[in-house]
Amino acid sequence: MSGVYSKPVSGPIEPVAMTPPQPGSPAGQALSARLAAGRLEMQVCTACGRVQYPARELCASCLSTDLDWRAQDGLGTLIATTVVRRPYDPAFQSRPLVRIGLIRLDTEVTVIAFLDEHCPPPRERVRIVALSDPAGSDGAGHGLLVAQAP
């Protein structure tokens, strides 16, 4: 047998320190600031009316640059859930389990959000809200999307 898998790995495997991605684009930074302030706002294209998430510099549907930030009600359906047992973000490593879910909003946007303790099971209606996380992974403060019972 030849190739990459022909030799066994020997010696200990060293863990690699990883930093979670930071909002690098101006649109990503604007979204992060709104969420950190507790405001659930998403970009809406003024040319075609599409709501988009995550934030981008152009409309994902028509490529227009005419994007407005508008408040959202956060209503949608919980599609699926999972439990993260080993969070990579240092801000969540003190928590033994982190529940997250995939939510399809009524605006046809799909988001990944944390699930609060009273969040209903998949296929049920939920509301996502923006909550401020003052510590954040880097101490700078960030916003979190959290799904709750409506």
Residue pair 123/77 in contact (Cβ under 8 Å)? The answer is: yes
Helix (H) or strand (E) holding 33: helix 26-36
Position 126 pLDDT exceeds 90: yes
Q: What is the pTM of this model?
A: 0.75
Q: What is the pLDDT of residues 38-96, one digit of tens each?
A: 999 999 999 999 999 999 999 999 999 999 999 999 999 999 999 988 766 666 666 66
Position 10 pLDDT exceeds 70: no
Residue pair 141/53 in contact (Cβ under 8 Å)? The answer is: no
User: Residue 142 has what pLDDT?
Assistant: 73
